[in-house]
A and B are shown apart, each in its own frame.
Chain A
Amino acid sequence: MALDSLSMTFQALADPTRRAILARLALGETSVSELAEPFEMSLPAVSKHLKVLEGAGLITRSRDAQWRPCKLEPTALKTVDDWLERYRRFWEERFDRLEDYLREIQAKDKADKPKKPSDKKRPRKK
């Protein structure tokens, strides 16, 4: 089954080393050997991670320069960010509707209930 691009991005992001590579690339274009240094990894191992990131559209690699620098592509991450924002909105939306519901039900209860004698004594507020 072919994975949609969002799933590929998620899979790419699910690995801590790949997230660290992206964090490094957020600071600027970098060669593969420079990327490999802090991770104490072999070049082929780093290249494998880069391939996954490239496949997910998270980075691009220049064909021009001989050292083929890696560059971050923020658009793919923005898509993930937007998608996750939906989860926050999931609760925001429900809270909004709950707020409306609670307001309506309380207004209705107030209108339905006959006034209690104690209500008269209470000083009016709000």
Chain B
Amino acid sequence: MDANYSLMAIEIATALLAIGVLIIGLLVPKEQRYGLGYLVTIGLTGIFFLTFAFYGTNTKLFGGMYIVDDFSIFFKQIFLAAGILVTLAATLYVKKIGANYGEFFVMMVFATLGMMVLSSAGDFITLYLGLETMTITFYILAGFKKGDSKSAEAGVKYLILGAMSSAVLLYGLSLIYGMTGTVIVQDVAALITAGGGMQPALIVGLVFLVAGFGFKISAVPFQMWSPDVYEGAPTPVTAFLAVGSKAAAFAALIRFFLIAFPDYQAEWKVLFAALAALTIIVGNLVAIPQTNIKRMLAYSSIAQAGYIMTGVVAADAAGIKGVAFYLMLYVFATVGAFTVVMNFSSNTGSDEIKDYAGLAQRSPLMAAVLLVCLLSMAGIPPLAGFAGKIFLFSSIVSQGYLWLVIVGLVMSMASVYYYLSVAKVMYMADPTDNTPIVVPVGAKATLLLTMGITVFLGVYPEPLSVLATIASKALFMIN
């Protein structure tokens, strides 16, 4: 009651933006709602600049339930950057799918709000609420395309598997609550020690948590939902899902495991190292034979989750810095690639890689952006992905996980193969249809931004690297 609510200004502003756009959508007639998409983009941009004012806050609210620190602010910027780029690119696409226009953008903002709450969650209840705010809006968004059976099917599948993983996660949380008697993440570590160390019920709880979080970040034994949902969902949703949902789950996972179970690092590090290796290998190998570009990107994003998890295995400031840095640049690479896919499919109605033949002639911009984004994901030197992988891999080498680095490097080489085979189709093959593809203004802005930032961060990663270092230090600072 005596909490300082101005510390939650970012979340409050986001919630007000969502409700405000919902109300405006009700007041203006249906044909005039097309400005709402841009309104959301502008609103999110404003909130994005607001977040910079919160660096260095590092406070707890409500007795540790809600944490405002540099780590959460950095992740909020990741979500906002993704939200801005996706809403900017999606305006025309959403108009075309003929669903309720304003509702789509309202849902996007609500999903962003859920991610923000998740990244700031300091206790189990906040964590669960943030997680569900995000996932339930994504169930709706995945099934958003009216009259498209693939979209509805993606929604139902995501709902069933997502709800199941939430229930498993929740059961784990309830066991940890029962064994320690607290829901505050920061108090868990001390109470486990006081309660006589690791009891069987706690271990079961921990395993359930790994399964629940593993599902959200689509780590390998729990990845089966993501290719289907990525393929079936409307493409802007897929982009936002791949980036935002994954980053938010990583934020919660890092805070949870590093703060609540620091004394059992040896145990869960082994588990995460195995999961990371498995995820990298399976994601990359299964991506190779894919013929649908959205499925290919889905498997590649599974592999990316594996790379990011190596930073969690390191479990120190350097590793977390690598995770934060990689997630931010992953936003630009993924949103750029999916914007190309979105624009291509709304022009030609196809998501098949073979139809990308001669894209370089039909739309040089789209082909260039897709090439840059894919190569950044593969980690080719002058691009941002290379810097990100250096940060991640160097953090675990010093901890003796050389074998994991070797797995990562070998599979990165393998990933270059399927990324370049798309490039080959785009640049070498002749187009079957020579009509140029028009890129609408919003999508063009997104494409140029993502390509520019990906190249810029590859050449000059310092600014983002400094921010990521601040974020990672804040995580360990708070008590």
Q: Do the two chains bind?
A: no
